[in-house]
Amino acid sequence: MKTDEVKNIKHVINGNHIVIPIETGYIKPNDNLNSIIDPAKEIMEDGDYLVIAETPISVSQGRLIDEAEYTPSLTAKFLTTVWSKYLWGYVFGPALKIKERTIKNLRRLPKETEAHKEVVLQLYGLKHALKPASEAGIDLSNAPGTCVSLLPENPEKVAKDIKREIGKDVCVMIIDTDATYMKNGKYFTGLPIAIEGIDADNGFFGYVKGQLSENMGSTPLGCSEKMDVETALKIANIAEDYQKLLSTEMKTIHSVKAVLGSEIDEVTIEDLDSITHTPAVIIREI
């Protein structure tokens, strides 16, 4: 598709970039990614970027965990109630001036969060469980029932495989909305994984240090090309800017009911499939 034909398809302009959404139904566990790849093949030109959210990749890989199968330990209960809800919701959070939305969400953490903390403890350890929210990049908002999705496995390989299927000289990137921070010219994130050049797997300690550093926006997890961190962050944030425009964005568990009309632990695959999803965007320089 030639650039002058973009006017005939849905897109927005962000600075000197065209952003073209790829809209799909809900990508289910063990589905292929053809609903993303096929339109990308048709629309993309050499030099374009395809930026994909991490959750549809994870779900397609079957990386779902049912938190109802986990019995919270005393440590998980302490981390949920005393540590996250009260100390971070009322003391540390306000003192460090974290997002007001995050503080409100911490103050109303449901009891089910105890099982979530247990999952984090068992799969990622205390370093990540100490983080008051968004621990280890686990997504609670785009999975059915009491399931959550972990970060994708080997996102760099996935990005390279998708580029190979598209068959053009494009760049494929998989991102997470959890932040990358910068201090003294060094990039870091609390997430377990990130592209080369971003120090990853810092968990709680990266989160705290991040509150005293510059928030650089979404984190690129894997990329089909070697790319400098500054460019990768710029492209990731253009994609995230588009997601923020969507009425169906489910950034937190508390936005699920507003979008789907279902309680978080009652969401079905049919509910998730009832709305239009935008798991990826194509970004093209003008």
Span 206-224, pLDDT tens digits: 999 999 999 999 999 999 9
Q: Is a pLDDT exceeding 70 seen at residue 233?
A: yes
pLDDT given at position 260: 52
- Rg (Cα) of the chain, in Å, rounded? 19
pLDDT in tens, 55-93: 999 999 999 999 999 999 999 999 999 999 999 999 999
Q: Is a pLDDT exceeding 80 seen at residue 257?
A: no
CA atoms of 285 and 65, how far apart (whole Å): 39
Which residue has 């194509």 as its token pair? 282
pLDDT given at position 6: 74
pLDDT given at position 274: 85
pLDDT in tens, 145-189: 899 999 999 999 999 999 999 999 999 999 999 999 999 999 999
CA atoms of 271 and 13, how far apart (whole Å): 31
pLDDT in tens, 95-152: 999 999 999 999 999 998 999 999 999 999 999 999 999 999 999 888 888 999 999 9
Contact present, 278 and 21 (Cβ < 8 Å):
yes
Residue type, 67: E
CA atoms of 176 and 217, how far apart (whole Å): 9
Report the share of the chain in percent with pLDDT over 90: 81
Which residue has 């374009």 as its token pair? 48
DSSP for 42-64 reads HH--TT-EEEEEHHHHHHHTT-E
CA atoms of 86 and 79, how far apart (whole Å): 10
Q: Structure pTM?
A: 0.91
Best CA proximity match to 283, nearest among 240, 245, 238, 243: 238
Q: Where are the alpha helices (DSSP H) in the chain?
A: 34-43, 54-60, 74-78, 93-96, 100-107, 113-124, 126-129, 155-166, 203-211, 229-244, 256-260, 269-272
| CATH numbers and ranges of domains, the chain | 3-61+155-285 (3.30.1330), 65-149 (no CATH)
Helix, strand, coil in percent for the chain, rounding step 5 = 45, 20, 35
Q: Is a pLDDT exceeding 80 seen at residue 262?
A: no
